[in-house]
Amino acid sequence: MHHPLPLTQDLVLIGGGHTHALVLRKWAMAPLPGARLTLINPGPTAPYSGMLPGFVAGHYSRAQLDIDLVKLAQAAGARLIIGSATGIDLATGTIAIDTHPPIGFDVAAIDIGITSKMPDLPGFRDHAVPAKPLGPFAAKWDTFRNQDGPATIAIIGGGVAGAELSMAMSHALKTRNPAASVHMIDAQTALSALPDSSARKLRTALQTAGVTLREHATITHLSQNTVHFADNTTLQADFITGAAGARPYDWLTETGLTTENGFVTVDKHLQSSDPRIFAVGDCAHMAHDPRPKAGVYAVRQAPILLHNLTSCLTNGSLKPYVPQKDYLKLISLGKKSALGDRFGLTFTGPWVWRWKDRIDRKFMDQFDTLPNMPVPPLPDRRARGIEDALGPKPLCGGCGAKLGRTALTRALSQLAPPQRPDIQPLPGDDAALLLTGGTRQVFTTDHLRSFWADPAVMARIATHHALGDIWAMGADPQAATLSITLPRMADRLADRTMTEILTTAEEVLTDAGADIVGGHSTMGDELTIGLSLTGLCTDAPITLNGAKSGAALILTKPIGTGVLMAATMSRAASGADTATALAAMMQGQGNAARLLRADAQAMTDVTGFGLAGHLQNICAASQLSATLTLDAIPMLDGAETLSEQGEYSSLYPSNRQGFDHIPDTPRSRLLFDPQTSGGLLAAVPEAKADTLVAALHAKGYTHAARIGHLHDGPAGQVSIV
């Protein structure tokens, strides 16, 4: 039988810059067996700088600007950690991350680009937007340009980047508002880095675009919508940005690596002073052959970096990177026109923009058409029924991998009733009530098959998911044991992985007031994380059978995690929507439970059987019917669109059974979507519902909503309006 090879080396890419994006794409076509690849990036997408002026001018959409790192990591078999690296400890071989426990590395590369010096200018941090990093800038510009009213813009920095932004902003605004004005400010002479002929043509282009150029103008500080100059004059501006003074991220100098003005010094192999660490793109300084900061070098570094990283992991030889002496500069002029500069020659016109557009789109296209891992064919000789058992799609992780309700109910119904007087089963609940002395203790277990390659994220989700049963019963979490299966890996990697999992689980449980008291670990084919938990009830537990007719139904989290994770697996979901779904699954329910438990007549957590299935359990136990208001049910971003496109979780068909009276629409299908670490569903007195929803919003459960009501009728019936 074929087993995947054990993991033995950790390769970590810090930053989703252009070089790393290309390395991931090449890795996807020929991964190195035994290497675990990790990418750390602040967000699920990385903007492509070449298309930023076109986006600012309105020629490209925001989606066209972004490389989807979730899909790219998936294709490469890499884990994506959404967070910012904040330090490297060379002695322990670990990388610190702001959203995540530290992770270990054997070989690493840094491609985090540069940030802006602008925040050093007094008042800039509060009253302006730096042009770097690109992601936050693009989002703020998108909001601003769609507003009506006055539009005066100040751009601090008279280099090529400032000129491109000025003309792009002018073009975008003047098409809607001819009175808009754009000012480009430089403390020295603008465009001084360009050859004279190019600088002259660019000055003419700025004039044509209606940009006011203010040179040799020293800014003392910024205040609300105002730029203050050393000569005591001011400029009123509705949007102030800065495209000057790019600088490296501060933490690089604290790593102990050799740096030059804060940039990581690398040799001809792109290797830093520590042979385990490489650096590329704008954050690196090539000591052997210094070059200006330009994306073209980053792109050319990718094949050399991939070769050298692989060589470090396999004890191979390194290749030198030889930067080209000159490169083609293509500068956008706002409208669909551009200026080209190479070998001292300057050319301009719409044809140059078309050329630049073709180059940029070709670069981005390679991230839209990613290689697929081929599915091995079924053996020719096989037992009957294999196709049916495999089903039409790969098995989902999380709650999407659960057994269907009918199989589970049938098996449980064959068990004998408890023989012990101190065990009180709770019909329809996933937990039991233990009566010890005068103490009421609830006991539950839950485990998840991994659906996301980051063990710490899976640990956070699995822990919140398991706590759901305790919170739903109105109990306070007490003690937990963990059961963990790791994929086959070397002891060193297993040690790192277990530390990440336990650190994360402990953080969540400590916050909930519970302690880890032990556990069990084993090696297997894939990561699974399970928890058994106890909780203490000071009052009678909240069960499924206490709901009253007329009660309002409150749901604390949006639904759609099943379809989103299934679509992430097939690379149909957008990275941004995947990240939103993960964030929802990592939100704890403790505060929501404490708010609801005084008033909840019945409560459950919405997990594998979907909203309709878990609501049906309340209805059956309480001998009532329910009506849901379909439009009131909160949905995760992208869930309904994916449902419309035919995406669904592997547990969906089983959850749909028995609800033939509910019409089949993309939105109604999500009622049967299996949820992982889903929200609490509570039946509360009608008179208290609105107050409780407002209180939930105030506690950070921004999607909490009234979604329907209970009423007399056939026990267990769920309808929609």
pLDDT for the residue 182: 93
Answer whether residue 338 is part of any domain.
no
**pLDDT over threshold 70, residue 374:** no
Task: Record the pTM.
Answer: 0.90
Query: Cα-flanking dihedrals φ and ψ of residue 25, to 5°?
Result: -65, -45
**pLDDT over threshold 90, residue 190:** no
**pLDDT over threshold 60, residue 399:** no
pLDDT for the residue 404: 67
* Domain limit, last residue, from 480, 510, 541: 541
* 237 and 161 share one domain: yes
Q: Which phi-psi region, left, alpha or beta, contains residue 146 (left: φ > 0; alpha: ψ -120 to 50)?
A: alpha
From CA 557, how far away is CA 546, in angstroms rounded? Answer: 22
Number of domains in the chain: 4
Nearest in space to 530 (alpha carbons), one of 469, 442, 587, 605 = 469
* 109 and 123 share one domain: no
Is residue 76 within 8 Å of 27, Cβ to Cβ?
A: yes
Band (371; pLDDT cuts 50, 70, 90): confident
Catalytic residue (choose from 283, 312, 396, 399): 399
Average pLDDT, integer, range 633-652: 94
**pLDDT over threshold 70, residue 295:** no
pLDDT, one tens digit per residue, over 599-621 is 999 999 999 999 999 999 999 99
* 61 and 153 share one domain: no
Answer whether residue 636 is part of any domain.
yes
**pLDDT over threshold 80, residue 372:** no
Range of the domain at 169: 118-244
* 123 and 223 share one domain: yes
From CA 659, how far away is CA 375, in angstroms rounded? Answer: 34
DSSP 8-state code for residue 307: H
Answer whether residue 356 is part of any domain.
no
Answer whether residue 381 is part of any domain.
no
pLDDT for the residue 2: 47
Amino acid identity for residue 517 in this structure: V
pLDDT, one tens digit per residue, over 11-26 is 999 999 999 999 999 9
pLDDT for the residue 130: 86
Tokens standing for residue 16: 């989703």
DSSP 8-state code for residue 133: S
Is residue 277 within 8 Å of 88, Cβ to Cβ?
A: yes
pLDDT, one tens digit per residue, over 134-181 is 778 888 898 888 877 778 999 998 888 889 999 999 999 887 778 889
**pLDDT over threshold 90, residue 199:** no
Q: Which residues contact 250 (CB under 8 A, 6 or more apart)?
A: 262
* 659 and 572 share one domain: yes
* 509 and 563 share one domain: no
* Domain limit, last residue, from 516, 541, 566: 541
Average pLDDT, integer, range 28-53: 93
From CA 391, how far away is CA 449, in angstroms rounded? Answer: 18
From CA 298, how far away is CA 609, in angstroms rounded? Answer: 48
Answer whether residue 368 is part of any domain.
no
What average pLDDT is seen over the chain?
90
* 499 and 554 share one domain: no
Q: Judge whether 399 counts as a catalytic residue.
A: yes
Answer whether residue 297 is part of any domain.
yes
pLDDT for the residue 540: 87
Answer whether residue 84 is part of any domain.
yes
pLDDT, one tens digit per residue, over 64-83 is 889 999 999 999 999 999 99
pLDDT, one tens digit per residue, over 530-584 is 999 999 998 888 999 899 999 999 999 999 999 999 999 989 999 999 999 999 9
* 60 and 77 share one domain: yes
- Give me the CATH number covering residue 719: 3.90.650.10
* 591 and 715 share one domain: yes
pLDDT for the residue 347: 87
* 709 and 597 share one domain: yes
Answer whether residue 392 is part of any domain.
no
pLDDT for the residue 563: 95
pLDDT for the residue 429: 59
* Domain limit, last residue, from 541, 559, 589: 541
* 513 and 525 share one domain: yes
pLDDT for the residue 639: 96
Beta-bridge partners for 89: 94
Amino acid identity for residue 149 in this structure: G
Tokens standing for residue 537: 């009830």
* 562 and 683 share one domain: yes
pLDDT for the residue 1: 40
From CA 7, how far away is CA 488, in angstroms rounded? Answer: 6
- Give me the CATH number covering residue 228: 3.50.50.60
From CA 720, how far away is CA 596, in angstroms rounded? Answer: 24
Is residue 720 within 8 Å of 671, Cβ to Cβ?
A: yes
pLDDT, one tens digit per residue, over 93-149 is 999 999 999 999 999 999 998 887 776 789 998 999 988 777 788 888 988 888 777
- Give me the CATH number covering residue 481: 3.30.1330.10
pLDDT, one tens digit per residue, over 662-680 is 999 999 999 999 999 999 9
**pLDDT over threshold 80, residue 464:** yes
Q: Which phi-psi region, left, alpha or beta, contains residue 474 (left: φ > 0; alpha: ψ -120 to 50)?
A: left
From CA 573, how far away is CA 566, in angstroms rounded? Answer: 9
From CA 459, how far away is CA 586, in angstroms rounded? Answer: 9
Quote the percentage of the chain above a pLDDT of 70.
Answer: 96
pLDDT for the residue 168: 92
**pLDDT over threshold 70, residue 394:** no
